[in-house]
Amino acid sequence: MINVTKSFLPNQAEYNAILKTSWDKAWITNRGPLVKELEQKIKDKFDISHVIATTNGTLPLQIAIKALELKGEIITTPFSYIATASSIAWESCTPIFADIEADSFNIDPKEIEANITEKTTAIIATHVFGNPCNLEAIQSIAEKYNLKVIYDAAHAFGVIYKGTSIFEYGDVSTCSFHATKIFHTGEGGALFTKDQELYDALYYHHNFGHDGPENFHGLGINAKMSEFQAAMGLTVFPYFDDIIARRELLYKLYLSKLNSENLQFQRIINDSEYNYAYFPLVFESESQLNTVKEALNDNQIFPRRYFYPSLNTIDYLKGESMKVSESISKRILCLPLYYDLTETDVNKISDIIIKYI
């Protein structure tokens, strides 16, 4: 069986060896040495100002909204995972959707500007499938209208834009280290910011507001990463460059095998070092997608409709209709892409798809 993804797991002995240090000390959470080591390794590798490891990739979005004290309307993308928009609603703000670009699948800066009102306080944009948003355009809109910017960089671990880590952009960036993501800690995630004051606020928020054992800086929640999660991260981390290289090879093989004018690929933004986090494929119609999906399923191959549905169509989010996002989300399929996938698998999957388009 070939699923859309498979978690990268090195030899279990490597995990056990890393975990042993915390086991021996019986120190398994509350920002132990393994969490700090993982944060330091991430900072050093990508030359990042500040990072806070968290227990998943959703709490960072909620904490960022809280720490920036956002109210009112937040402009966001309808083409993302539910966590992007649900975090806005969870924090009692109103998500206002702005449609996406048909080729990059990222939020369209022109649509952001068209949706700004006096109630708008921020933009939350997703680097879809790791492809950087139009960072310059979003920054200049934010400056012009005095808005905060949060990037949901859940897919973007390792991505570099114009020589700088993608996590250094915006007021806050968030990442997910979920088992299905390109770099993982089982469950996990992180908060990033360049701003020291904001870092302090995010840090307090992620640990109950604690300022020492008996004082509280303010309201907080528990989003701490455990030592078990950090041990997993430290086990996977040394393999990260190999993981990217392997994915790049498979991604490029898909591109060459699926070279057909009936298929649309994601346009990856120039000036970026991409991480090959996903291989999305857009069909001409939803029925063509369904035919291909069934044929793949018959061969025990399980791609994923992702992102689907378009978030503006979800009842409780009460979005306006979004032409481009709804059209793409109905026709997009993410193909299997993971470290252990073989070239033979890619050839087989591609041959089946080509037969039905």
Site of interaction with ligand PLP (CB under 6 A): 56-58, 80-81, 83-84, 126, 152, 154-155, 176, 178, 189
- The residue among 84 and 310 lying less far from ligand PLP, judged by its C-beta, is 84
CA angle 129, 130, 131 (to 5 degrees): 95
Please provide the DSSP assignment of 142-165 as one string: HHHHT-EEEEE-TT-TT-EETTEE
Going from the C-alpha of 106 to that of each of 76, 123, 268, the distances in angstroms are: 10, 13, 10
| Helix pair 343-355, 240-257: axis angle to 10 deg | 30
Q: Using alpha carbons, list the distances in angstroms from residue 161 to 125, 133, 332.
A: 16, 10, 25
Indicate the residue among 121 and 126 with the shorter CB distance to ligand PLP: 126
Give the bridge partners for 149, in sequence order.
123
Instruction: Specify the residue, 61 or 70, whose C-beta has the smaller distance to ligand PLP.
Output: 61
Least distance in angstroms from the C-beta of 81 to ligand PLP: 4
Chain-centre distance for alpha carbon 158: 11
Instruction: Using the minimum distance from each CB to ligand PLP, give the nearer residue, 134 or 350.
Output: 134
* Long-range contacts, stretch 141-144, CB < 8 angstroms, 24+ apart: 141/109, 141/112, 141/113, 141/116
- The 3-state DSSP composition of the chain as helix, strand, coil percent (nearest 5) reads 45, 15, 40
Q: In the bound complex, what is the minimum distance in angstroms from residue 7's beta carbon to ligand PLP?
A: 13
Q: How far is the CB of 15 from ligand PLP (least distance, A)?
A: 20
Residue nearest to ligand PLP (CB): 57
Nearer to ligand PLP, 152 or 345 (CB): 152
Identity of the residue, 72 or 186, whose beta carbon is nearer to ligand PLP in the bound complex = 186
Q: Which residue, 334 or 353, has its beta carbon nearer to ligand PLP?
A: 334
Supply the minimum distance, in Å, between the C-beta of residue 254 and ligand PLP.
Answer: 20
Q: Which residue's CB is nearer to ligand PLP, number 56 or number 272?
A: 56
CB of 338 to ligand PLP, least distance (A): 15
Residue 244 burial class via C-beta count within 10 angstroms: exposed 0-12, middle 13-18, buried 19 and up: buried
User: How many CB atoms are closer than 10 A to CB 97?
Assistant: 25
CA distance 348 to 11: 28
Compute the least distance from the CB of residue 348 to ligand PLP, in Å.
27
Residues 6+ apart with CB under 8 A from 256: none
Q: How far is the CB of 196 from ligand PLP (least distance, A)?
A: 26
| Min dist. Cβ of residue 162 to ligand PLP (A) | 22
Beta carbon nearer to ligand PLP, 80 or 120: 80
Calculate Rg over the CA atoms of the chain: 20
Q: How far is the CB of 153 from ligand PLP (least distance, A)?
A: 8
Residue 246 near residue 239 (C-beta atoms within 8 A) = no
Q: Which residues contact 105 (CB under 8 A, 6 or more apart)?
A: 79, 128, 129, 131, 266, 280, 328
